[in-house]
Structure 1
């Protein structure tokens, strides 16, 4: 596999895991049914993408540096 693809895969998996863990933590702390973890994680994913799109490279929701982002490399090719 390409190095950039592995970075992208790792970024996506890492953020998904963090959002799921935070969703579960929120439901535990709020003492609400665990099925709320999915909508909470979805809200966190949307917020992360929105923030990354404004603070990161324009046109992407990636938090990877430009040198490791496959989308950046594809545009430059």
Structure 2
């Protein structure tokens, strides 16, 4: 169970970093005020969650982890 928790933590932290970096990069490239980085990161997070819930990872969740690795998967379902 501990390895699933660490994997979940790494996934969440990694995606948050990517979304924040994307927000900062877009503001720099578009030459717009840096405060726009937060709404851009929010949109990136929402888009990632939508895609993850339908196309990647365990259906019905915002996780990109496969069902077997997702700690939210009830025992016996992720095999």
Q: Same fold (TM over 0.5)?
A: yes
Q: Normalising by the residue count of structure 1, what TM-score does the alignment of the two structures yield? A: 0.90
Q: Where in structure 1 do 4 or more consecutive aligned residues deviate above 4 Å?
A: none
Which protein has greater RCO, CA pairs closer than 8 Å, 6+ apart? Answer: 1
- How many corresponding residue pairs? 76
Tell me whether 55-64 or 7-16 shows the greater mean CA deviation. 55-64
Distance 1:53 1:44 in 2: 14
Q: 1:23 to 1:73 in 2, by over 3 A?
A: same
Task: Name the structure 2 match of 1:39.
Answer: 39
- Flag structure 1 segments of 5+ consecutive residues without an equivalent: none
Q: Normalising by the residue count of structure 2, what TM-score does the alignment of the two structures yield? A: 0.88
Once the two structures are superposed, residues 23-72 of structure 1 have per-residue CA deviations (whole angstroms, 9 ceiling, x without a partner) of 00000000000000000000000000001111032211100122210011
Q: Alpha carbon RMSD of aligned pairs, Å? A: 1.6
